[in-house]
């Protein structure tokens, strides 16, 4: 290859090769360091734009999952309280039936009444403590709660079960001081039991819907995450191998440039 003092063609070619090697090495190193084939818009503007849209959906799904999880937790707390109340109502029915027996002694009535009062207090505790995140669907005046269920802002609802508190208040006003009063109390308790069991079924259905929707959203998150990875993730193994190859190419280019820069020195030999 011809050369001259003013223009070192070999050095220029070596510099060009080195620039190319450096650019490719930087690109391969970025793939390894970030883990992304498309880390920003400079890598691929259209693909990055699509990826940003998917990321936005994933953030929205995260908010939806949080809302649904809160709803399911509130429903589960309410369901637990209603189940405990329903179980205890059966025991109370048996106890009031005993109190409706006109043949029992005053001492027996006092014992049965104390037992009934203890169970009544326990039910009141169940109702009062059916709280989740400051919300109690069993309390008097409680309102229905809605939860975001999808990216279209559609909501799912947990209904207020305040009728349980109202029916319980009516029952606790009953007296069991005599057999006839206990019979009336038993009727009031049966009304309360019906309200509890209706609330139990209603809340269970709504809670199950919230849980199933949350599971569906989780599957969508998995699908979107997989799609995002297919769009932008790099092949780390392939990128790592490319880094090594580009490093060798870079070293060869540096050596070539060094040799090319030594060529003008040959002219000094001719002059000597």
User: Does 61 share its domain with 187?
Assistant: yes
> pLDDT tens for residues 141-175?
999 999 999 988 899 999 999 999 999 999 999 99
Task: Look at residue 95 and tell me if it is in a domain.
Answer: yes
Helix runs in the chain, H state only: 9-34, 45-99, 106-128, 162-172, 179-232, 236-262, 265-271
Which pLDDT value is given to residue 30? 54
Residues 126 and 20 in one domain: no
Residues 114 and 62 in one domain: yes
163 contacts 185 by C-beta, under 8 angstroms: no
pLDDT of 182 reads 95
Domain hosting 185: range is 48-217
Whether residue 203 sits in one domain with residue 117: yes
77 and 192 belong to one structural domain: yes
Model's pTM, two decimal places?
A: 0.73
139 and 61 within one domain: yes
Residue 29 and residue 52 in one domain: no
Tell me, yes or no, whether 27 and 55 share the same domain.
no
- Decide if 41 is inside a domain: no
Is 107 found in the same domain as 55? yes
Using 50, 70 and 90 to split pLDDT, how confident is the model at 226?
confident
Half-sphere exposure of 219 (CA within 13 A, CB side): 6
Regarding whether 247 and 203 lie in a shared domain, the answer is: no
Residue 269 CB contacts under 8 Å (≥ 6 apart), including other chains: none
Residues 83 and 158 in one domain: yes
Q: Kindly state whether residue 188 falls inside one of the protein's structural domains.
A: yes
192-201 pLDDT, tens per residue?
999 999 999 9
Give the total number of structural domains in the chain.
2
Looking at the fold, whether 163 and 75 belong to one and the same domain comes out as yes
Q: Which residues contact 22 (CB under 8 A, 6 or more apart)?
A: 250
How long a stretch of residues is the chain?
A: 272
Whether 257 is covered by a domain: the verdict is: yes
Q: Which residue has the higher pLDDT, 98 or 247?
A: 98
Distance, in Å, from the CA atom of 166 to the CA atom of 73, rounded to the nearest integer, reads: 24
CATH classification of the domain holding 179: 1.20.1330.10
């Amino acid at each position: 290859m011809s050369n001259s003092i003013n223009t070192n063609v070999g050095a220029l070619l070596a510099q060009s090769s080195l620039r190319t090697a450096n650019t490719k090495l930087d690109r391969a190193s970025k793939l390894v360091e970030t883990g992304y084939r498309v880390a920003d818009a400079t890598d691929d503007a259209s693909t990055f734009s699509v990826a940003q849209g998917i990321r936005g959906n994933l953030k929205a799904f995260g908010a939806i999952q949080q809302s649904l999880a809160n709803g399911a937790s509130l429903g589960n707390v309410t369901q637990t309280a209603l189940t405990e109340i329903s179980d205890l109502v059966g025991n109370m029915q048996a106890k009031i039936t005993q109190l409706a027996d006109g043949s029992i002694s005053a001492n027996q009535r006092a014992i049965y009444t104390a037992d009934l009062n203890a169970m009544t207090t326990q039910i009141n505790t169940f109702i009062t403590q059916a709280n989740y995140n400051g919300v109690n669907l069993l309390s008097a005046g409680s309102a229905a709660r809605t939860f975001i269920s999808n990216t279209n802002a559609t909501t799912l609802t947990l209904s207020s079960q305040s009728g349980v508190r109202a029916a319980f208040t009516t029952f606790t006003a009953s007296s069991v001081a005599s057999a006839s009063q206990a019979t009336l109390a038993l009727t009031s308790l049966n009304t309360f039991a019906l309200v509890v069991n209706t609330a139990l079924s209603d809340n269970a259905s709504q809670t199950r819907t919230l849980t199933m929707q949350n599971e569906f959203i989780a599957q969508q998150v998995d699908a979107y995450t997989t799609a995002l990875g297919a769009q932008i993730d790099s092949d780390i193994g392939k990128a790592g191998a490319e880094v090594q190859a580009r490093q060798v190419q870079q070293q060869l280019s540096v050596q070539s440039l060094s040799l090319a820069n030594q060529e003008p020195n040959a002219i000094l030999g001719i002059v000597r």
